[in-house]
Structure 1
Amino acid sequence: MNKQAYTRLGEAVYQTTLANGLKVILVPKPDFHKTFAVMTTDYGSMDNEFVPRGGSQPVRFPDGIAHFLEHKLFEKKDHDAFDLFGQYGASANAFTSFTQTSYLFATTSKLRENLDILLDFVQDPYFTPATVNKEKGIIGQEIQMYDDDPGWQSYFGMIGRLYPKEPLHIDIAGTVDSIDKITADDLYAAYKTFYHPGNMSLVVVGQLDPEETLSWITANQDQKTFAPNEPIQRIPSPQAEPAEIIPTTTRHLTVTRPKISIGLRGFDQVPTGRAGLKYSVAVSLAMDLLFNDTSDHYLRLYDANVIDDSFGYDFQVQRGAHFAQLAGDTDQPEQFVKELTAILNDAPAQLQAARDQFELVKREAIGRIVGAINSVEAIANQYDGPLFDGATIFDELATLEGLTFADILPAAEAFLGQGRQTVYTILP
């Protein structure tokens, strides 16, 4: 087991890969009572076309299958995994993103028992036509609930206009019609392809002894037999051209104030490994410099009532895609769009004008990460897996601390202000 010490922070990360391919990451926090574990497969809503394990031809599966599979894994023939976690005092959950599916629990006791439950239920699928059809109604209600959520519609409406011809534009849960097509055989095919230990990681953070915890995990895995690991054959969608972005969309929903979402799409591939982490951190810091609540732009637009406390922004790097969102409620939708797009289109010059604030904004970003290190959930959930060569939150902090103003300019110029934007407006 490899140990990476972060001496200045008083932290250490232990990593190893088991014989079956499962990546195990352990972060002891001896002064904490709670322990958090998350088991993740590199499989999400974007992965709806692939060559099933044991097959030779690509198959297009119904939208929403990764999320559907997440729901179904908890239910077994004679029990529900949630009940088992409850018996040992743990709270459990799961979530699906564009590129990953994660299963998690938090506990203050019985760590070994809860780890066994997590490993066993994720690695023991049980699907029947009857249980699959029952789940369709449950997930269908969830989809309809989000159909009425203006914030959700604004976010996915924006992404759908940035990626109108690619899987990213599809809601993670799919649609009522698409999930109706999912069968038990589909779920087994997706499971066998993506849930091999070689495509998964297990991160455990909190009150634990690394050697003892690894011995528990190894003992659990040694009792199971897995097929040899094989490369996963995903069918990537072609990279769309800038002209394929849908520039503007307006919808009317039951809202009291206009809701605006401005999206930016990156077309160039993000660098791999730690260079990709540096790019991601640099762009995020550039957006802080332009739009955080101490920036000149924020204060000016806030005083003019163009934005308010609902305003926010986000930058994401996913496998195969990266994009940003600026969003908020406003009584001046036209001015909101005009002002923010003008800043984006002139980003290099605007960043130069804000250069004197760089060190302050950087320290604020460092402070947020240092604060997050006090959360076992934040440490576990910010493990980047294969995206940035297994980087942890501690690596992100080191990367941020090493950034200079000169580092953020090329990253910002590569992403911001290139006209690759969409505006999604929801009006009352």
Structure 2
Amino acid sequence: MEKKVYELINETLYTETLPNGLKVALLPKEGFHKTYSLFTTDYGSIDEEFKPLGQDEFVKVPDGIAHFLEHKMFEKEDGDVFQLFGKQGASANAFTSFTKTSYLFSSTDQVEKNLTTLLDFVQAPYFTEDTVEKEKGIIGQEIQMYDDDPNWRTFFGLLQAMYPKHPLHIDIAGTIDSIAEITAEDLYLCYNTFYHPSNMNLFVVGKMDPEAMMALIRENQASKEFTAMPPIERKFPEETAADIVKESTIYLDVTRPKAYVGIKGLEALPTDGYELLRNRTAASLLFQMLIGTTSDNYLAMYNEELVDDSFGFEFNMDRGFYFADFGGDTDQPVELAERLKEILLTAKDSPELTEERLSLLKKRMMGNYLQSLNSLEYIANQFSKDSFGEATLFDMVDVIDSIMLEDIQGVINHFIKEEAMVTLYVYPKNKE
């Protein structure tokens, strides 16, 4: 077991890769009574085409199957795992993203028993055709609920424009038609390929004795047999800037129009984990400088009533893709979109990009980061979902401190390109 001390943030991380390939990380937190654990597989909604374990040909599975599999994992032949966690004083949950599926629990007692339950139920699949058919109705209702959410539909409308061929634009839960195709055999196919310990990581944070906790995990995993697993081969459609849908309009159940501008990352990112983390941090700082609530650009748009408190922006970076989006509710959608594109395309010479503003925003980012380390849930979720090689969430003090104006300009040069931009307008249905 390796021990790494992060003196600047007073944290000590213990890590070990077990013989079966499972990557384990433990973060003891003094003064906390709760323990939070996250068991994550590097498998999400975009992983639809792959070579199954033991096969030479690629297969394509139905949209939404990773999310469907997550739901089915909690149902076993002898009952519902949620009830077992409840009896042991724990709160359990799970979630699926574009690239990850995570199972979790939090508890203040019986931590060892709950951790054993977490490991055991995720590593013991049980699917039958009857239970799969029953689940289709439940997930179908969830899909319909999200179909009625304007913000969710807007987000995927942007992804549809930026990634028209890539499965990233498909709802994580799939569609009612796609989940109707899912069989128990499909679930086992995906499970056996992606739920091998070598494709997973376990993170435990909170009250614990790290030596005893690691010993428990080692013993649990040593008692199970796993076949050797070759590297997983995934396949994604090829896309170029020419595939991007520059402008699109959708009509939803909203009272006011919305306008959004998206930027799709076209250039390859650094392969070094630390540089990747620096790149993401620099991008976040750039957009705060350009159109954050303390910028002159934001204040001008607000005073001109182009934006209100619904305005926001986000930069997303994950396995194989990165993009940004900007926008919100507005009575002047065309004017807002044009202004945003103008701000972004002239960013290189923007008067907002000064050493003084960068220094202030870095201090604010640092403060938010240090405060977030008081949340066990935040630590676990960020640590498990970010894929930066040897670099982790706990390197952020050094990363934030290292960002200079030339790094900000670097993001502009490789990311903000007119051919990578899309515009999405959302209008009330009665304007259709």
- Aligned: 1:299 with 2:304: no
CA distance in 1, matches of 2:326, 2:341: 10
Aligned to 2:258: 259
Normalized against structure 1, the TM-score is what?
0.97
Q: Deviations over 1:275-304 (max 9, x none)?
A: 111111111111111121111111111122
The AA in structure 2 aligned to 1:108 is T
Name 1:149's counterpart in structure 2: 149
2:100 alignment partner in structure 1: 100
Contact 1:196 / 1:226 at 8 angstroms: preserved in 2? yes
Residue 393 of structure 1 and its aligned partner are, at CA, apart by: 1.7
In the other structure, the counterpart of 1:231 is 231
CA distance in 1, matches of 2:391, 2:188: 31
Query: Aligned-residue CA RMSD in angstroms?
Result: 1.3
- Residue 66 of structure 1: aligned partner: 66
Alpha-carbon distance in structure 2 between the residues aligned to 1:221 and 1:386:
24
Per the TM alignment, residue 384 of structure 1 is displaced from its structure 2 partner at its CA by 5.2
1:55 aligns to what SS in structure 2? coil
Distance 1:400 1:353 in 2: 16
What do the CA deviations read for 1:302-322 (whole angstroms, capped 9, x no partner)? 122111111111111111110
Q: How far did residue 390 of structure 1 move?
A: 4.2
SS of aligned partner of 2:394: helix
Given that residues 347 and 417 in structure 1 are in contact (C-alpha distance below 8 angstroms), is that contact kept between their aligned partners in structure 2? no
Q: CA deviation at 1:385?
A: 6.3
Gapped regions of structure 1 (runs ≥ 5): none
Deviation track 1:12-52 (CA, whole Å, cap 9, x = no partner) reads 11111011110001111011121111111001111000011
Q: How does 1:250-399 map to 2 (within 5 A)?
A: 250-272=249-271, 273-350=273-350, 353-383=353-383, 387-399=387-399
Q: Return the TM-score normalized by structure 2.
A: 0.96
Name the CA distance, whole Å, in 2 between partners of 1:197 and 1:351.
50
Letter in 2 for 1:5: V
Contact 2:259–2:334 (8 Å) recurs in 1: no
Q: Deviations over 1:205-234 (max 9, x none)?
A: 111111111111111111111111221111
Tell me by how many angstroms 1:352 deviates.
Answer: 5.9
Whole-Å Cα distance in 2 between the matches of residues 46 and 166 of structure 1?
8
* Partner deviation per Cα, 1:114-168 (whole Å, 9 max, x = no partner): 1011101100000000000111111111111111100000001101110001111
- State the alpha-carbon separation in 2 of the partners of residues 327 and 343 from structure 1: 13
Give the secondary structure class of the aligned counterpart of 1:374. coil
For 1:39-78, what aligned pairs fall within 5 Å after superposition? 39-78=39-78
Q: What CA distance in whole angstroms lies between the structure 1 residues aligned with 2:412 and 2:116? A: 45
Q: 1:119, 1:20 → 2: CA distance?
A: 14
> Compared with structure 1, are the counterparts of its residues 351 and 183 closer, same or farther at alpha carbon in structure 2 (3 Å cutoff)?
farther
State the identity %: 49
Instruction: For residues 70-103 of structure 1, give each alpha carbon's deviation from its aligned partner in whole angstroms, at most 9, with x where no partner exists.
Output: 1110110111111111111111111111111111
* Residue 171 (structure 1) aligns with: 171
SS of 2:168 mapped into structure 1: helix
65-74 or 378-387, larger mean C-alpha shift: 378-387
Which range moved further: 319-328 or 387-396? 387-396
Q: Distance in 1 between matches of 2:97 and 2:351?
A: 32
1:407 maps to 2:407: yes
Return the letter of the residue paired with 2:4.
Q
State the alpha-carbon separation in 1 of the partners of residues 103 and 179 from structure 2: 21
Higher mean C-alpha deviation, range 346-355 or range 288-297 = 346-355
Question: For residues 55-204 of structure 1, what are the structure 2 equivalents within 5 Å?
Answer: 55-204=55-204
Point out the more displaced range, 70-79 or 269-278.
269-278
Q: Which amino acid aligns with 2:45?
A: S
- Paired residue for 2:240? 241
Q: 1:352 to 1:311 in 2, by over 3 A?
A: closer
* Counterpart Cα distance in 1 of 2:259 and 2:83: 42
Distance 1:105 1:353 in 2: 43
**Deviations 1:301-347 (Å, cap 9, x if unpaired)?**
11221111111111111111100111211122122111111111111
Write the distance in 2 (CA, Å) between the matches of 1:353 and 1:285: 10
Tell me by how many angstroms 1:186 deviates.
Answer: 0.4
Which secondary structure state, in structure 2, belongs to the residue aligned with residue 419 of structure 1? helix
Quickly say closer, same or farther: Cα 1:231–1:336, change in 2 above 3 A: same
8 Å CA contact 1:282–1:412 kept in 2: the answer is no
Q: 1:351 to 1:275 in 2, by over 3 A?
A: farther
Greater mean alpha carbon deviation, residues 271-280 or residues 147-156: 271-280
In the TM superposition, residue 349 of structure 1 has moved relative to its aligned partner by 1.2
